[in-house]
A = this chain, B = another copy of it.
Amino acid sequence: MQNESGIRRRDLLTLIGTIAGSSAMYQAMMSLGFASASAYKGPLKLAGDVKGTSVLILGAGLAGMTAALELRKAGYKVQTLEFNSRAGGRNWSIRGGDSFTELGGFRQTCQFEQGLYLNPGPWRIPCHHRALLDYCGRLNVTLEPFIQLNHNAFLHATRAFDGKPQRFRSIKADFQGGVAELLAKVSQQGRLDEFVDKEDQEILLQSLRDWGALDRDYKYNANLGSAEFRGYAHDPGGGLMPDPLPSDPISLQELLRSRMWRYLQIFARYDFQTTMFQPVGGMDMIGKAFAREVGDLIRYNAKVTQIQQSSSGVTVSYVDTASPPAVQQATADWCICTIPLSILSQLPIDVGGPMKNAIDSLPYLASVKIGLQFKRRFWEEDDAIYGGISYTDLPIQQIAYPNTGFNSGGRGILLGAYMHGGANSFEFTAMTPAERVASAVEFGAAIHPQYRNEFEHGVAVAWHRVPFTLGCAGQWTEAARAQHYRNLCQIDGRIALAGEHASQLPWQEGAILSALDAITRLHERVVKT
């Protein structure tokens, strides 16, 4: 047997040689590597003499702290002013005992059980956010998978299927089955002949059968083949338990009219594709990790009131919110300002017309997130939903399930509403926090009736009422970006802006990349002079 396998192995190695090809091919393959598509080119190296230059950073969110970390490393004198009493900005998690006062004066104190949290801001990290993942690695932030797509989660439309939630798997399988059957039918009747070669149509038919779970006659029907995608009426069991039973597909017509196909592609978007991550313990583990590095450079409770510059430096006025009203001043050779434009547009700032116009032009997205604590994890215990997101056309839009503590019993937090722009966001922003929570519970009960018995506490963050951002993120249109984006990102005298608003991607990654880009250009000026 050894001898035989020895011979076989030589054959294999010859085959490998034939297949695996030349080193030129490896090079070609490497150039497919993801890294080549990323805007992040690895850890920043700011070389050269910075000549004792000082930089004042406004805002200790991820953009500001990235700048602080890298600039100090390069030899700059760095100080940072932060409005909040904590670092992180929108990188934020709310836990039991945390208090938060929103614009309008409503104050919430979170009553979540210890260990449970809500990420009111960013909550997921795509695998292609290379800069953020690199910092997580360097700063020892432990990650766990964030489940975006859960085939067992629900899709819900008030006017479809009598309001009954459908499992994602069924809608997905039935849409593919319906489309595949239709295209196969057209092909078999010769109606594709002018578009696709006969030979390729044969392969197309194979692929449609495979991918659409069609039967031998290219029909999408109730059978154990389609059940293998859309789920069973009765699952396979053990011993003499009942035989598996297929479930009944939804017709293409009913499916199209339900509009539930609108939700199928969310998980397939580049930003939401597997594998995604969240930090273990809450998104703010990242902000806290940055703050461990640069916390000594941050002055908290510092509300900036004015930003002035001359040809030789910047002077920033601020109020200590813990002991107003005395105005204080900080000065430096340069300023990196990461204050959200929603707030910066309200401050006097010495910059030229193009940058000022850009600052004044960006509306901020309304967004609301509501965290609900339940006595038990009924979504896992009753409904076998572990992580992921259910979608609905009710105002709450989404119900997202926790991606940690799976199958462990006990209490849990659902993201009971996540509105991202649109009328629902404004409606919920206009409510009191208690009303938002009550509404989320009532709407959610249409999908999970267990809400009525299991709900305990809630927390609601309406981003337009969050004092330090007045909105969730900059809402660039294509036209606004064409007109203002470059003006916003140019260094104006001794002031450079950074933050997600100064990026092409309104994510934490955008904040970090904008900071890296801004300080790189600033550093070039410093070492050249």
Given contacts A239-B489, A274-B151, contact A211 B32 (CB under 8 A): no
Contacts of A388 in B (CB 8 A): 274-275
Which residue of chain B has its CB nearest to the CB of A224?
A: B478
**Smallest distance from the beta carbon of A517 to chain B beta carbons, Å?**
3
B19 close to A196 (CB less than 8 A): no
A351 within 8 A of B: no
A195 close to B191 (CB less than 8 A): no
A228 close to B432 (CB less than 8 A): no
CA–CA, A38 and B233, complex, Å: 9
B37 close to A512 (CB less than 8 A): no
B37 close to A238 (CB less than 8 A): no
Q: Which of A261-269, A304-312, A355-363 forms part of the interface with chain B?
A: A261-269
Count copies of this chain in the complex.
2
A241 close to B16 (CB less than 8 A): no
Return the contact of A164 from the options B25, B179, B244 (Cβ within 8 A): B25
**Smallest distance from the beta carbon of A438 to chain B beta carbons, Å?**
8
Return the contact of A152 from the options B34, B192, B406 (Cβ within 8 A): B34
A326 within 8 A of B: no
A128 close to B384 (CB less than 8 A): yes
Q: Which of A289-297, A317-325, A439-447 forms part of the interface with chain B?
A: A439-447
A489 close to B240 (CB less than 8 A): yes
Given contacts A8-B431, A237-B513, A503-B237, contact A137 B20 (CB under 8 A): no
Most-contacted residue by chain B among A239, A252, A511 (CB, 10 A): A239
Given contacts A238-B512, A239-B513, contact A384 B130 (CB under 8 A): yes
Q: Which of A111-119, A165-173, A366-374 forms part of the interface with chain B?
A: A165-173
Which residue of chain B has its CB nearest to the CB of A239?
A: B517
The size of the chain A interface, using a CB distance under 8 A, is: 154
A243 within 8 A of B: yes
B29 close to A269 (CB less than 8 A): no
**Smallest distance from the beta carbon of A31 to chain B beta carbons, Å?**
9
CA–CA, A300 and B383, complex, Å: 39
Contacts of A438 in B (CB 8 A): 9
Contacts of A211 in B (CB 8 A): 175, 261, 264-265
A33 within 8 A of B: yes
Contacts of A61 in B (CB 8 A): none
Most-contacted residue by chain B among A136, A158, A261, A406 (CB, 10 A): A406
CA–CA, A152 and B356, complex, Å: 40
CA–CA, A241 and B227, complex, Å: 48
Q: Which of A50-58, A73-81, A202-210 forms part of the interface with chain B?
A: A202-210
Contact with B along A223-247 (1 / 0, CB 8 A): 0000111011111111111111001
Q: Which of A88-96, A139-147, A413-421, A467-475 forms part of the interface with chain B?
A: A139-147
Return the contact of A238 from the options B144, B192, B384, B516 (Cβ within 8 A): B516
Most-contacted residue by chain B among A243, A409, A442, A514 (CB, 10 A): A442
CA–CA, A181 and B284, complex, Å: 43
Given contacts A234-B39, A270-B228, A408-B137, contact A26 B449 (CB under 8 A): yes
Contacts of A243 in B (CB 8 A): 504
B192 close to A182 (CB less than 8 A): yes
Q: List 12 A-B contacts (CB under 8 A).
A: A9-B439, A12-B442, A20-B443, A37-B231, A39-B241, A127-B385, A143-B407, A144-B406, A232-B270, A239-B518, A274-B388, A275-B386
